[in-house]
Structure 1
Amino acid sequence: MGVRRVAKGVGDLLIETLGEAVAEVILNLVACALLGCLALIACLCWSFSPRLTIAGAGLFSCLLAHGAWHTVRNPPKGRRRGLAALTAVAFTSTAMTALFLLLYATGCDCL
């Protein structure tokens, strides 16, 4: 009975290790693809209109700063509404994307 339990434990460990390795490869591929898409978008925008790209980046920075302000500061009584909610969601999703890229795209050898 002890041998069966040990064999089952080793089998479970191998399956878990293989699953984690596959998940790591998939996350690295997704991060590399996302980084490549972001670089392609920036390159295409810059080739279309450098002035508009700088203006859009400035406007997006203001949107993220507003979202960071509303996310970090003590929220007032009640819910966030309108622009505050939109910018908070934009800031949070951008921060999570940046964290994902920081964790997984640093090992990307495609650059």
Structure 2
Amino acid sequence: MRVRRAAKGVGDFLIDTVGEAVADVILSVLACILLGCLALIVYLSWSASPRLTIAGAGLLSCILAHGAWRASRRPAKARSRGLAALTAAVFTGAAATALFLLLYVPGCDCL
């Protein structure tokens, strides 16, 4: 009985370890693909029109700043209104993407 329990414990440990390693590799590859797509978007945008790229980056910065400001404040009412909710959602998505890239891009060896 003890041998079976020990073998089952070792098997579970191996499955968990291999599963975590595979998940880490998959997330690193996804992060590398995401970083490559972001770099490609910037390159193609800059190639098409540098002025519009700067203007778009400025607009995106304003949207992210407004979203960060709205996300950090407590709303006076329980629900947020249209633009405030949209910019807060954009900021939250950008922050989550930045955190994902920060955690997994160093492991993909694409830099």
- Which bracket does the TM-score occupy, shorter chain normalised? over 0.9
Q: TM-score, normalised by structure 2?
A: 0.98
Q: Deviations over 1:31-63 (max 9, x none)?
A: 000000000000000000000000000000000
1:80 equivalent in alignment to 2:50: no
Which consecutive residues of structure 1, in runs of 5 or more, have no partner in the other structure? none
Q: 1:43 corresponds to which residue?
A: 43
Q: 1:26 corresponds to which residue?
A: 26
CA distance in 1 between counterparts of 2:5 and 2:108 reads 40
1:110 equivalent in alignment to 2:104: no
1:90 equivalent in alignment to 2:90: yes
CA distance in 1 between counterparts of 2:107 and 2:24 reads 11
CA distance in 2 between counterparts of 1:52 and 1:15 reads 50
CA distance in 1 between counterparts of 2:45 and 2:56 reads 10
* Pairwise CA distance, 1:107: 2.2
Residue identity in the other structure for 2:17: T
* Pairwise CA distance, 1:108: 2.4
Task: Count residues with an aligned counterpart.
Answer: 111
Q: Deviations over 1:65-97 (max 9, x none)?
A: 000000001211120011000000000000000
Percent identity reads: 73
Which consecutive residues of structure 2, in runs of 5 or more, have no partner in the other structure? none
Q: 2:61 corresponds to which residue?
A: 61
